[in-house]
Amino acid sequence: GGIITQTPKFLIGQEGQKLTLKCQQNFNHDTMYWYRQDSGKGLRLIYYSITENDLQKGDLSEGYDASREKKSSFSLTVTSAQKNEMAVFLCASSIQQASAETLYFGSGTRLTVL
């Protein structure tokens, strides 16, 4: 089995700050995702990447950048943190887009903006 590691687990930022969240997977999966989880709103897709150096926007991409530096890692940047923002950011991976559908999630990064 593999594992998805998200760092940091907890992230506290200031309004307007640029914040970066990191995700590593050792499944050797092709596709990686960033989802945002807000209470009462489920999981919303921010960015995903089908393969190394690929980047695709989800429905919630505004205000974020992402980078797939290598197959095993996918980072997400909050370009300007919003005051009182609180959410959990979940990274996930899957074998490949076309056929395999199961997403394996990391344990999340909990963001608080003061």
Partner 1 sequence: GEQVEQLPSILRVQEGSSASINCTYENSASNYFPWYKQEPGENPKLIIDIRSNMERKQTQGLIVLLDKKAKRFSLHITDTQPGDSAMYFCAARKASSGSWQLIFGSGTQLTVMP
**Beta strands 104-105 and 86-94, pairing class:** antiparallel
- Shorter beta-carbon distance to partner 1: residue 18 or 41: 41
Per-residue x/- marks for partner 1, 21-40, CB under 8 A? Answer: --------------x----x
Pick out residues in 43-62 that bind partner 1 (CB under 8 A). Answer: 43-45, 48, 50, 56, 58-59
Tokens 């979940």 belong to residue: 90
Q: Applying CB under 8 A, does 11 fall inside the site for partner 1? A: no
Q: How far apart are CA 49 and CA 20, in angstroms?
A: 17
CA angle, corner 83, sides to 80 and 84, nearest 5?
A: 135
- Shorter beta-carbon distance to partner 1: residue 50 or 73: 50
Q: How far apart are CA 72 and CA 32, in angstroms?
A: 9
Contact by Cβ (8 Å): 19, 13? yes
Q: Of 7-15, 20-28, 67-75, 96-104, which segment contacts partner 1 by CB under 8 A?
A: 96-104
Q: Applying CB under 8 A, does 7 fall inside the site for partner 1? A: no
Q: How far apart are CA 5 and CA 26, in angstroms?
A: 9
Query: Interface residues with partner 1 (CB under 8 A)?
Result: 35, 40-45, 48, 50, 56, 58-59, 90, 97-98, 101-103, 105-108
